[in-house]
Structure 1
Amino acid sequence: MSYQFSAPTPKDEGHRTRKRFGQNFLHDNRVIEKIVHAVAPRAGDFMVEIGPGLGALTAPLLVASEALTVVELDRDLAAGLPGRVSQPEKLTIVEGDALKFNFMTLVQNNKPLRIVGNLPYNISTPLLFHLLQYGSQVQDMHFMLQKEVVDRIVAEPNSKDYGRLSVMIQYYCKPEFLFEVPPGAFNPPPKVTSAVFRLTPYAEKPLVAKDEKQFASLVGHVFTQRRKTLRNTLKGRVDEQGFAQAQVDPMARPENLSLAQFVALADVAINPNP
């Protein structure tokens, strides 16, 4: 399938970026093409774009999709977006904060959402956690973030990048690192290298904790003291019998544990706030 690529035109570049919104506008057509081909939108897909900005991704996504809904916090950008695309009648614009938006309101006829976005780096982690709660209604998510965050998302145990974000994302989704994006692909260029990645929520999670709030609490707690042994960080929550039952070495550190071991630990832990 061929796509229409439309990087921001010179007249669009007159928009002043707003630091409080974390705006860095994508303008490299080669990168746009790679992203759209990775997403591979098809007729019948219900696409959602977070932070469309000047419409660099919006235009080609709109051509290939049955409908596209965008969530944009900047009112000026939202107002100008219909004039930057070739099929504005297929475009629905939601002016609002994606962190607070209920994405369930977009689901129609149980058709799963396909979510795309060049996410604002300053809210990327809380936004990802917000989106995880909609996993049952999401087919996949393609995002661009700073590479160091993507490295953490896809990290495996026994690596320096492995942490709370790795465990929690991988509990709900299959993550895939796709490709790097250099700073020069943006205007203004960020001070970091970016990367595009894919999250595919599990229709049925391969591992299910008995209490998912307990699981999230335990994972978050141990990684606040990642250099300590689990015996020390989980004192009062997991006893020796619990470690044995979960088949986890109490002298291990958080980065040594697999997702399955974290689930097993959470299942035997004592809830500190019953």
Structure 2
Amino acid sequence: MTNTHQGHRARKRFGQNFLHDQQVIGDIVDVINPQAGEHLVEIGPGLAALTEPVAEAAGHLQVVELDRDLAERLEHHPFLANKLSVYRGDALKTDFHQFQQGEAKLRVFGNLPYNISTPLIFHLLDQLEIIADMHFMLQKEVVDRLAANPNSKAYGRISVTVQQACQVVPVLEVPPGAFTPPPKVDSAVVRLVPYSNPPIPVKSRQTLQQVCLTAFNQRRKTIRNNVKHFIDDSQLTALGIDPSARPETLEIAQFCALADWCVDNKKAL
């Protein structure tokens, strides 16, 4: 298995940290469990630590790479070139529908640069109808936020919006020493599985995101203070929301009720 990082220096502006620990790489591939014939898309393959074993198992892999040098390396890779379709571009601006072949849904994975992880997850939430599952290596702190329950410090906008749409399963913790250069934080792998029928439906995910952005904007303030420009106390109470509650004490269903109210009343946030 070739996993050299000779000749390529990690670029700070791309937030690059390359995986090199073979045990950890094996564990992550086991968690993804790629099967022949599945439609897998890797975001930011980097030096191909995960790309090689996944392409080996699946037979073919589509990858999205922004770094021109790395894209070129992959296109001319001695073992991988014929197993990869390399899409040069920014995953944050990429329409993932183009990777779909027929009806099969995509399995998306990647060791995400820390600086794009949250916006990228929101970008993919808009395309969930074509995604079977996602496995991402993230800062452990981000995985904690994704999986957080109400009444915890980590609970916020991303917890509510992602849990409304997906089952969130933290699957693996990864120490800094598994990367070159080692990041200053712990990492973890999370599995996100989109619901075909969300247990807590919402009329507009976009509106839910906006509501959460507004509600959590000033965490120390009450929900009344954060949302008073578009809803009053009596309407909050009618939705089963205590106006004097802090945003992090509200359940996902309450945020969804608030978002649905905004849609029904055509409130621009």
Change (3 A) 1:268 1:133: closer
Distance 2:12 2:60 in 1: 30
The reply to whether residue 264 of structure 1 matches residue 257 of structure 2 is: yes
Distance 2:197 2:80 in 1: 36
The reply to whether residue 273 of structure 1 matches residue 268 of structure 2 is: yes
Tell me the TM-score normalized by structure 1.
0.92
Distance 1:186 1:142 in 2: 18
The reply to whether residue 171 of structure 1 matches residue 164 of structure 2 is: yes
8 Å contact kept, 2:68–2:88? yes
8 Å contact kept, 1:58–1:85? no
Q: Deviations over 1:84-120 (max 9, x none)?
A: 4634322101111111111100111111000110001
The equivalent of 1:235 in structure 2 is 228
The reply to whether residue 8 of structure 1 matches residue 8 of structure 2 is: no
SS of 2:56's equivalent in the other structure is helix
Q: Deviations over 1:14-51 (max 9, x none)?
A: 21111111111100001100100000001121110011
Tell me the TM-score normalized by structure 2.
0.94
CA RMSD of aligned residues (A): 1.6
8 Å contact kept, 1:178–1:197? yes
The equivalent of 1:181 in structure 2 is 174
- Count of paired positions: 267
Q: Which of the residues 212, 216, 229 maps onto 2:209?
A: 216
8 Å contact kept, 1:180–1:193? yes
Change (3 A) 1:236 1:77: closer
Distance 1:208 1:186 in 2: 39
The equivalent of 2:140 in structure 1 is 147
Question: Residue type of the partner of 2:74?
Answer: L
8 Å contact kept, 2:74–2:80? no
8 Å contact kept, 2:217–2:226? no
Q: Which of the residues 234, 238, 250 maps onto 2:243?
A: 250
The equivalent of 1:36 in structure 2 is 29
Question: Residue type of the partner of 2:217?
Answer: T
Q: Which of the residues 105, 125, 138 maps onto 2:131?
A: 138
SS of 1:36's equivalent in the other structure is helix
Distance 2:188 2:136 in 1: 8
Question: Residue type of the partner of 1:17?
Answer: A
Question: Residue type of the partner of 1:16?
Answer: R
Q: Which of the residues 16, 40, 45 maps onto 1:47?
A: 40
SS of 1:142's equivalent in the other structure is strand
Distance 2:61 2:115 in 1: 25
8 Å contact kept, 1:242–1:265? no
Distance 2:77 2:108 in 1: 20
8 Å contact kept, 1:59–1:84? no
The equivalent of 2:20 in structure 1 is 27
Question: Residue type of the partner of 1:30?
Answer: Q
Question: Residue type of the partner of 1:58?
Answer: T
Deviates most, 61-70 or 199-208: 199-208
Report the identity percentage: 53
SS of 2:160's equivalent in the other structure is helix
The equivalent of 2:59 in structure 1 is 66
8 Å contact kept, 2:161–2:208? no
8 Å contact kept, 1:59–1:85? no
8 Å contact kept, 1:99–1:130? yes
Distance 1:273 1:259 in 2: 21
Unaligned runs of 5+ in 2: none
SS of 2:91's equivalent in the other structure is coil
Q: Deviations over 1:174-228 (max 9, x none)?
A: 1111111111111111111111111111112222223443322211101001111
Unaligned runs of 5+ in 1: 1-5
Change (3 A) 1:66 1:203: farther
